[in-house]
Amino acid sequence: MKIKWEKLSEKRYKSGYRKMIRRKYKLPNGKIADYAIVDNGKAVCAVALTKEKKVILLKIYRPGPDKILLELPGGLIESEDTPEKAIRREFLEETGYTGDFELVSTTYEDAYSTMIRYNFVSQNCEKVQEPELEDDEGGAETILLSIDEFKRHLKSGELTDPETGYIGLLHLNLL
């Protein structure tokens, strides 16, 4: 059975600071449906290990869940960046660390977003400067966890990019 959705229209708009797309489709059963799609673009995220095999995370407040979370470093890819340039920049700005980065895979954010996430691993990370945080990252701090502590955190459901965490650990043969 072939699934055929026909895109009837597409309109871009902003909702707060989010870019959105309103898409109207004719579904296979002939009904018409509207979807609000978050237009995030492309992003990068990394599971990064220090030379001592500690996982580098950010402790940061996030308004969606309205709480402080431990997150993997990453961010959006700017138009002039390659994914590798973006992860190196974001990682250095957020944590002050650099390392040997390797692209492992790409994943979709979810079914109602345009985001494609480039998942990296990095090894042999070392701190080379103090973080240079953006306004919405204010108060964030760099946290180092053992691999076992990170696995427990990953399983807790409190990580916003769990696919990067699992893919990274799997790639590094640490699951």
Give per-residue pLDDT as tens, 16-40: 888 999 999 999 999 999 999 999 8
What is 42-171's CATH topology? Nucleoside Triphosphate Pyrophosphohydrolase (3.90.79)
Q: In terms of Cα–Cα distance, which of 32, 36, 7 is closest to 21? A: 36
For residue 86, pLDDT beyond 90: yes
Whether 147 has a pLDDT exceeding 70, the answer reads yes
Are the C-beta atoms of residues 143 and 110 closer than 8 Å to each other?
A: no
Whole-Å CA distances, 159 to 26, 41, 62, 163: 36, 21, 11, 9
pLDDT over 80 (residue 170): yes
- Domains of the chain: which residue ranges? 6-38, 42-171
User: Which 3 state secondary structure label does DSSP give 27?
Assistant: coil
Q: Given this model, what pLDDT does residue 63 score?
A: 85
Q: Is 155 helix (H, G, I), strand (E, B) or coil?
A: helix
User: CA dist 147 to 47, 56, 109, 161, Å?
Assistant: 11, 10, 25, 16
pLDDT confidence band for 1 (50 / 70 / 90): low
- Please measure the distance between the N-terminal and C-terminal CA atoms of the chain and give it in whole angstroms: 37
